[in-house]
Copies of this chain bind each other. A is one copy, B any other.
Amino acid sequence: MPYRPPVREHAFLLNDLLGIGEHADLPGFSEAGPDVVAQILDEAGRFTSGVLAPLNAVGDKEGCTWSPDHSVRTPKGFADAYRQLVEGGWAAIGADTAFGGQGLPHVINLSFSEMSSSANMAFSMYPGLTHGAYSAILNGGSDAQKALYLPKLASGEWCGTMNLTEPHCGTDLGLLRTRATPQGDGTYRISGTKIWISGGEHDMADNIVHLVLARVEGAPEGVRGISLFIVPKFIPDADGKPGARNGVWCDGLEEKMGIHGSATCVMRHEEAVGWLVGEENRGLALMFVMMNEARIGVGLQGIAQAEAALQAASDFARDRLQGRALTGPKNPDGPADPIIVHPDVRRQLMEGKALVEGGRAFLFWAALQGDLSHLHPDEAVRQKASDYAALMTPVVKAYLTDRGLKVCSDALQVHGGSGFTEHFPASQYMRDVRIALIYEGTNGVQALDLVGRKLPAQGGRAMLTWLAELEAFSAGARGDAATDPFLDGLDGARAQLQDGVGWLMQNGLSNPDNAAAGSHDFLHLVGLTALAWMWARMALVAQAKIAAGDADPFWTSKLAVGRFFLARILPEAGVHLARLKSGAETVMALPAEAF
C-alpha cells in the first residue's frame, strides 16, 4: 500500500496538543487557523503521496549520474517533480512574505517537510538545503544579497547548498583549507575541494547557490579564521538572471549506502567568484544558524523514515498469512492468520508507534519553541523558548535519529526475508535513514554539544527551567486514574534525569572525560524524559476528549500506545543513568593500540 500521510496526527499535534491557535496574535500564526492548517495538511498529503512517493524507489535504484562535463543527472522524474513543487509554492511555505514566501511558522512547515521526507527522503533534501541557504543569507546577508538571492531561493527557482566538509576536515572545521582571496572589488576568489556536498550539482534548477566556508588569506588559524561566502553556479547578471558560469565544478559523486537520489558531490572551487556573507572570520556563527535549523530537519528525517517504514511493516503484517495465533485462529477460513496476530510482531509495531508518535510530538514542540523564540512579543517567553530550542536541538537530532533507525530496522524485521530484498521498501528506509545519525554533526557530536555547551550555558538555566516546568506540570495535572500513571512515569524519569544532571555537575568538571563518556546516555535520558512528558500531555488531551464524550477511537488508541510507552520504553531510563554514572574509567581503560 502506498504512503499514507499522517494528516490526523499532525492536526492533533498542531491544534490539540500544541494549541497553535493560542498564538494567533503572532506573525505567521495569524494565517494558520484550523481551516488553513487542515487545507495545508490535505494538500501536502496529496502532493507528497501522489508526486514524491512514487519516485522514491526509482531514485534508489537509478541514483544520480555524473558526466565528465561535470553535470549531474537526477533520477527520472525528479526534475519534473521539483518543477511541480516550485509551481505549487511548497518551497515557499516558511519563507518571509517580504521575499515572496508565505510566511507560515516553522512548525507548520514541518508537516510538509515530514511528509516529503517520508515520501522521498532523497528528493526532499534538495528543497531542505535550499531553505538552509535561504536562512543563512536572511540572517547574515546584506540587503543587496537578500534582494538578489532570497526571492529565488524562497520560491525554489534556484537551489542552495552548504559547502563545509573537506577531505581532512569534517567535525573539526578548524582544519579547513579552502582559500578566499579578496579581489579589491568586493568579491573574493575561492579555491579548494569540498566533499559530501548534497545537491552540489544537478539538473533541477536554473541556478545553484553555494554557501561556502573558506579562509581569507592571512586569517587566523582554527575556527576563528573562517568566513562564509555566496558562490553561485551561474553569476547573476545585471537583471538578476543566471549569467556567466562560475568556477565551481562537480568532480564526481559519492557511492553511498542510501539516499541514492540525492547527489552527494565532490565540489572543486577553482578561482570561483564569491561574495562574503557578513564579516570576515565570522562565518562559523552564520553557518550554525543553518546548522541548527538543519539539525531539527535531520531529527525530522528520523521520524519521517520511521513513519514510512512502520506503515510498510503494518501493511505487510496485516497481509502476510503465516502461522496461527497462540490464542486460537483469527482467520479460521484462511490457510493461516496474518502475522499481525503474533505478539512479537505486534511488539515491534507498537514500539514503532510509541516512538514515532511521541517523537513527533517532541519534534513539533521543539520547532514551536524556535518560532516563539523569534516571534513572541514577551521577552521572557522568547528567552525561555530560545533556551529550550538551544537545549533540545541536539536531542531532537540525535535521539530521534537513533530511535528512527531502530524503528526502520524493526520494520524490516517484521517483513522477514522480504525485508532484506529490494522488492519491498523496508531496505531502502533503513539504508536511507542511516545517514541521519551522521550528517549535520554525528550523534556523538550532538551529545557532546548537549553536555559540554547546552547544559552548562547560563549556569544550567535551560535544564533547570525545564525540570521545574515538568514538576509543576505533573503536580498540576494529577487527579484522574487514567492519566496519573503517565505522571508517575514522568516523575520517575525526571527524578532520574535530575540525578544525572547532579552527577554531571559533580563529576564532569573534575574530569571532562566523565561528561563525554556519559554524553550519549545522558542525551538518551533527556530524550526519554521529553517523550514521557509528551506522552503525559497527549494522554491528558485524549482523556479530556473521552471524558467529554468524544467516541473517536483515535483517543483510546492514543492512551493505549502511551501505556505501551510507559511499560516497555520508559524503563530504559534506568540503564542510561547507570551507564552515565559509571563514568569514564571503564571506557578509557585501554590504550589505543589494544583495539
Contact = CB atoms under 8 A, between A and B. Distances in A.
B326 A513 contact: yes
B571 A575 contact: yes
A324 to B, nearest CB: 8
A171 B323 contact: yes
Contacts of A220: none
A435 interface: yes
Contacts of A571: 574-575, 578-579
Interface in A168-223: 168-172, 175, 196
Given A171-B323, A342-B444, A586-B564, A314 B595 contact: yes
A588 B342 CA distance: 9
A58 interface: no
B422 A438 contact: no
Given A170-B416, A517-B344, A353 B595 contact: yes
A241 B348 CA distance: 50
Nearest to A434: B420
Interface string A331-356: 00001101011111111111001000
A517 B343 CA distance: 5
B594 A567 contact: no
B557 A594 contact: yes
A421 interface: yes
A532 interface: no
A516 B568 contact: no
B317 A444 contact: no
B168 A321 contact: yes
B443 A413 contact: yes
B417 A172 contact: no
A254 B341 CA distance: 28
A375 B258 CA distance: 48
A367 B463 CA distance: 51
A443 B348 CA distance: 12
Contacts of A258: 420
Contact of A335 (B170, B175, B443, B587): B175
A422 B327 contact: no
Contacts of A165: 417
Contact of A561 (B347, B575, B578, B590): B590
Nearest to A511: B327
Contacts of A582: 567-568
A589 B567 contact: no
Contacts of A443: 413
Given A171-B323, A344-B516, A579 B560 contact: no
B574 A589 contact: no
B343 A584 contact: yes
A516 B326 contact: yes
A397 interface: no
A317 B444 CA distance: 14
Nearest to A323: B172
Most chain B CB neighbours (cut-off 10 Å) among A165, A175, A322, A353: A322
A340 B517 contact: no
A439 interface: yes
A175 B336 contact: yes
A419 B421 CA distance: 22
B257 A431 contact: yes
A369 B563 CA distance: 42
Nearest to A311: B595
Contacts of A345: 444
A427 interface: yes
B172 A336 contact: yes
Contacts of A564: 586-587, 589
B578 A575 contact: no
Nearest to A169: B322
Contact of A413 (B255, B256, B442): B442
A318 interface: yes
A486 to B, nearest CB: 13
B416 A256 contact: no
A279 interface: no
A384 to B, nearest CB: 29
Contact of A520 (B347, B427, B447, B557): B347
B196 A417 contact: yes
A437 interface: yes
A102 B349 CA distance: 48
Contacts of A430: 257, 434
A135 to B, nearest CB: 22
Given A317-B595, A344-B516, 6 more contacts: A314-B595, A343-B584, A347-B587, A416-B442, A419-B438, A563-B586
The 4 nearest A-B residue pairs measured at CB: A314-B595, A567-B582, A326-B512, A343-B516
